[in-house]
Amino acid sequence: MKRVTANVYTETEWRGCNPSYVVTSDGVLVVDTPQLPTKAVAMRQEVEARGPIRYVVNTEHHVDHIFGNYWFRGAGQVVHHQGVADNFMVPTPDLDPFAYALEAIPTDDPEAADIIPDRDTYYKDPNGGDIVFTGDLTLNLGSHTFHLIHTPGHTPGQLAVHVPQERVVFTGDTIFSECQTWLMTSDVDQWFGALDRIGELDVEHVVPGHGPVTDLAYLQVQREVLQTWVDAVADAVARGWSREETIERVNFAERYPVDVGQGYMMSHIQTLNAASLYDKLTAR
First to last CA, the chain: 45
- According to DSSP, the β-strands at 144-150 and 137-141 are antiparallel
Quote the DSSP letter at residue 259: P
- According to DSSP, the β-strands at 144-150 and 159-163 are antiparallel
Q: What percent of the chain has pLDDT over 90?
A: 99
pLDDT at 184: 86
pLDDT at 192: 98
Mean of pLDDT over the chain: 97
Query: What is the 3-state composition of the chain as percent helix, strand, coil, each rounded to the nearest 5?
Result: 40, 20, 40
Model confidence band, residue 284 (pLDDT cutoffs 50, 70, 90):
confident
State which amino acid sits at residue 111.
E
Phi, psi of 31 (to 5 degrees): -115, 105
Q: Give 282's contacts (C-beta < 8 A, 6+ positions apart).
A: 237, 243
Model confidence band, residue 261 (pLDDT cutoffs 50, 70, 90):
very high
Q: For residues 195 and 225, is the Cβ–Cβ distance under 8 A?
A: no
Which is nearest to 29 in space by CA: 85, 82, 71, 77? Answer: 77
Model confidence band, residue 94 (pLDDT cutoffs 50, 70, 90):
confident
For 155-197, what is each residue's pLDDT tens digit?
Answer: 999 999 999 999 999 999 999 999 999 998 899 999 999 999 9
For 25-50, what is each residue's pLDDT tens digit?
Answer: 999 999 999 999 999 999 999 999 99
Per-residue pLDDT at 139 exceeds 80:
yes
3-state secondary structure of 162: strand
Compute how many other C-beta atoms are within 10 angstroms of the C-beta atom of residue 184.
Answer: 15
Quote the DSSP letter at residue 68: G
Element (H, E) at 145: strand 144-150
Per-residue pLDDT at 215 exceeds 80:
yes
Beta bridge partners of 132: 80
CA distance 21 to 31: 6
CA distance 247 to 277: 10
Please give the model's pTM, rounded to 2 decimal places. Answer: 0.97
Model confidence band, residue 85 (pLDDT cutoffs 50, 70, 90):
very high
Element (H, E) at 30: strand 27-31
